[in-house]
Structure 1
């Protein structure tokens, strides 16, 4: 009978120690979960902030300005555009025709002379 009581007492003590250990681990895991959730919230806020900053940095006007200033790029025109055919030959650039001078006083006397 004494052995049975001793065995039961050891089982109760072992069970109590296991329960304390499990509660300790549970509290540690809960604390770690809380920290991870706080970190996730912080990272989400950083992500939102960075997305807003990215949208601000990627506006077409700003990109064009940086391309002109820092990369010395220029807008394309037909005069500087070259087209390449699939066989490798280059189509010459389209040159804009020279501007036509506006009709000035020299053409008016000729018009009067025809009348």
Structure 2
């Protein structure tokens, strides 16, 4: 009978230690999940901010201003417009207006 009590006591102690370990792992994993969800929320916020910034950078007025300032582009005018026509001749003709 004494041996059975010792075996049962060891089984209860092993079960208790296993339960503590499982609870510790469960809490650790829950903390990791919370941390990952927090990071996902942060990344979503950053993505939304970047998308808004991208939309702001691509406005037609900004593109036109950058084209004028950095690329020295100007709007087309009839004085600099070239029209290309192809007639019966083998080489295309260039007509200036």
**TM-score per shorter chain, which class?**
0.7 to 0.9
Q: Which fold has the larger relative contact order, with Cα–Cα distance below 8 Å and residues 6 or more apart in sequence?
A: 2
For structure 1, the 5+ residue unaligned runs are: 84-89, 97-115
Relative distance call for 1:4 and 1:64 in structure 2 (3 A) is: same
Q: In terms of Rg, which structure is larger?
A: 1
Q: Is the 8 A contact 2:82 2:94 kept in 1?
A: yes
For structure 2, the 5+ residue unaligned runs are: 85-90
Q: Write 1 or 2 for the structure with the bigger share of strand.
A: 2
Counterpart residue number, 1:16: 16
1:52-109 Cα distance to aligned partner (Å, 9 max, x none):
11100011221122122223344556846697xxxxxx8555421xxxxxxxxxxxxx
Counterpart residue number, 1:95: 96
Scaled by the length of structure 2, the TM-score of the pair is: 0.74
Partner of 1:71, secondary structure, is coil
CA–CA distance in structure 2, aligned partners of residues 6 and 94 of structure 1: 109
CA–CA distance in structure 1, aligned partners of residues 7 and 82 of structure 2: 94
